[in-house]
Amino acid sequence: MELTWRDYAKRRNGLAVGSRGELRQNLTRAFTASSFGRFWQIWNPLFGFYLQKFIYRPLQRWCSKPLALWLTFVGNGLLHDAVTMLVRWDLAMFFTPWFALLGAAVVTESKLQ
């Protein structure tokens, strides 16, 4: 049985999507996370679900988990930059290097633990 995004979000937040206090629970759990990597697992469960499903897991078939994780962050940055460029109608490449740096920090942190 494949995990739905609602199940994924409940697993990450501890509350069902749309339930009372869900946003507060999400923010509390994210900002009190035990690590930088855990913060990113909790931060945006809907987006995280789709990043995992369409970028991270397919990449894991072709490369190591750390590289797949880093490339997922890079892909996330590319998505953010694409939206920015569509809104501004101008070249914008801020998020891709930023998320590449964040991904490197998450991978490094996981290696050090």
- Report the pLDDT value the prediction gives residue 5, as an integer from 0 to 100: 82
Tens-digit pLDDT string for the chain (113 aa): 688 888 888 888 888 888 899 889 989 999 999 999 999 998 988 889 999 999 999 999 999 999 999 999 999 999 999 999 999 999 989 999 999 999 999 999 999 98
- Report the pLDDT value the prediction gives residue 16, as an integer from 0 to 100: 84
How many CB atoms are closer than 10 A to CB 95? Answer: 19
- Report the pLDDT value the prediction gives residue 1, as an integer from 0 to 100: 64
Q: What are phi and psi of 35, to 5 degrees?
A: -155, 165
d(C-alpha 76, C-alpha 64), whole Å: 18
